[in-house]
Amino acid sequence: MSAIYTWLGFLLWISFATQDKTPDVTVTCVVSGECVLPCSFQPGSQETIEWFKQDEVIYKFERSSDDDDDDDDNSEEHFKLEQLAGRASVFPHLISRGNATLILRRSALKDRGTYRCQVRTSTGEHNAKVIVKVEAPIRGLFLELSRLSGYEEMKCIVRDVFPAPRVTWTTEPPTFESLRPVTRMLADKMGLYTVDSRLKTLEGRPDLIYICKVTTLYGSQAWTASLREREIKGTQGRDLNIPCSAPTYLSSPSLHWSFSNGEDSSHILSYDSHSGHSVSTPPWDSHVELDGFRVPFGDGSLRLMDPRHSEHTGSYTCVFSMAHSTHTERNAVTIDGPAGQRGKSAGGPSHWWILGLVIALMVLALAGTLAYMKLKGRNLKSRSDPEETTELHLVKDTAADSGLTDSSPLTAGGTNGQSAVQSGAQLT
């Protein structure tokens, strides 16, 4: 029995020792916002409230009279630190109810630390500890494709955040190639960070989704942005499907489509994931169609009906969005004019006529070469024939003369001989 009494006495001692012990409270405040440091105590009278930061008094509140606990004129406030003057206060009308909560307005990074609330009343003393963290949350995540470095790279940028966040990159579908982003963090004079993370795109993988995820150090926020870009060609007057698919990390997002031709931008349509309805904007309502049943499954593809070269060539952007997450797809769409349409209706791509023209020119060139060579052969033959013909005629003429005058020389010779003989006879 003595052991039981000893054990019960020990439990009662612990209970009395901890009944006025308040657990430490941790609060996270936002830069430039209000910070609430809670402190509750057992109500009494003649309250004196002191707030400490790292054991240094920063704020004091005390009543000079207990005639009227709700009369603010009977109280005094003292600021021990000028940096809190005009920014810190309690609610005097709540003190009599046991509430000494301190309100810290326009909180800044310098307000981080451990605070202690000490309240002295006619009934005793109360202490409470509050750990204050201050952060500048992510307000937005900016992701774009850049070519300014001489190659394609994704840029993921976050501005005015604290503490410095963690940046990770992934792709969808996943790739076995290692991703090697370069992340830079720069703090301004207020201590807020600007984060610039860049990732070189993978060659030969034009259809990848690049995903940038930024997580705060306290783990209270995680923002995700992803991007995919592609080029699409269409034909005037022929319906065109412009794809847009949400990555797997998005669940039941809303969808927005917009268009830009380099000068003006316009809203095409919006899809509300809660109602399941889409609303298009004139004059797009007569040219676009969205399958609302497929959007919850991540397919937000847009059907462009009866496109025109002058009106519908440009950049089509779809954005899937939900809290702290966005996915963007930019489609550079080129609608061929009527000439391009005729080229396709002729039975194939328009560049085939170039190949046909080259073949025709080659055939003509070959035919011309053959004709030239044949003509040249004839000319050479015609140049050699007159000489042969002349020589042949000369031979024929000589032969003819010889045949016709075979006796003539003899006759002539005989006559001449006879004449000579006669002449000789006469001389004789």
Kindly state the helix (H) or strand (E) to which residue 62 belongs, with its residue range. strand 56-63
Say which residues have a Cβ less than 8 Å from residue 11's Cβ, sequence separation at least 6: none
Q: Which two tokens stand for residue 321?
A: 């969005």
What's residue 264's pLDDT?
84
Token pair for 15? 């209970």
pLDDT at residue 280 greater than cutoff 50? yes
Which pLDDT band, with edges at 50, 70 and 90, does 409 fall under? very low
- Rounded CA-CA distance 330/206 in Å is 13
Tell me, what's the pLDDT at 424?
Answer: 41
How many angstroms separate the CA atoms of 216 and 49, rounded?
35
How far apart (Å, rounded) are the C-alpha atoms in residues 203 and 212? 19
Distance between CA atoms of residues 245 and 291, nearest Å:
13
Per-residue pLDDT, averaged over 152-179, amounts to: 93
Share the mean pLDDT of the chain. 80
Strands 35-37 and 88-89: unpaired
Is residue 262 scored above 70 in pLDDT? yes
Question: How far are the Cα atoms of 98, 111, 117, 151 from residue 40, in angstroms, in the given order?
Answer: 6, 21, 9, 60
CA angle, residues 81, 82, 84, in degrees to nearest 5? 75
**For the chain, which domains are there?**
21-135 (2.60.40.10), 137-220 (2.60.40.10), 225-352 (2.60.40.10)
Can you give the pLDDT at residue 319? 97
Q: Mean per-residue pLDDT for 88-94?
A: 88
* Dihedral in degrees, nearest 10, Cα atoms 143, 147, 151, 152: 30
pLDDT tens sequence across 319-347: 999 989 999 999 999 999 765 444 444 44
Helices (H), 225-266: none
Higher pLDDT, 162 or 428: 162
Residue 27 pLDDT grade (very low, low, confident, very high; cuts 50, 70, 90): very high
The answer to whether residue 380 scores a pLDDT higher than 90 is: no
pLDDT of residue 321: 93
- The full DSSP string for 86-97 is TTEE--HHHHTT
